[in-house]
Amino acid sequence: MKKFLLSSVAALGLVAAGAASAADLPSRKGPVVAPVYAPVFTWTGFYVGANAGYGFGNVNAGTVFGNRTVNIGDLDGFVGGGQVGYNYQMGQFVVGVEADIQGADLNSGSSFFGDRVRTEYFGTVRGRVGVAFDRFMPYVTGGWAYGNVKTTIGGVGSTDKTHTGGYAVGGGLEYAFTNNWTAKVEYLYVDLGEKTVFNSGVKVGTDFSVVRAGLNYKF
Rounded distance, CA 60 to CA 207, Å? 8
pLDDT score for 20? 45
pLDDT score for 112? 73
**Could you tell me if 130 and 92 are in contact, meaning their C-beta atoms sit under 8 angstroms apart?**
no
User: Mean pLDDT over residues 104-121, rounded?
Assistant: 87
**pLDDT above 80 (res 73):** no
Q: Model confidence over 138-195: pLDDT tens digits?
A: 999 999 999 999 988 777 788 899 999 999 999 999 999 999 999 999 999 999 998 8
Rounded distance, CA 81 to CA 104, Å? 9
3-to-10, 146, 167 alpha-carbon distances in Å: 11, 109, 106
What single string gives the DSSP state of each residue in 107-157? Answer: E----TT--EEEEEEEEEEEEEEEE-BTTEEEEEEEEEEEEEEEEEETTTE
User: Mean pLDDT over residues 39-47, rounded?
Assistant: 91
User: Mean pLDDT over residues 73-91, rounded?
Assistant: 95
pLDDT, averaged across the chain: 84
Question: Going from the N-terminus, what domains does the chain have, and what CATH number goes with each?
Answer: 45-218 (2.40.160.20)
Rounded distance, CA 12 to CA 120, Å? 98
pTM for the full predicted model: 0.79
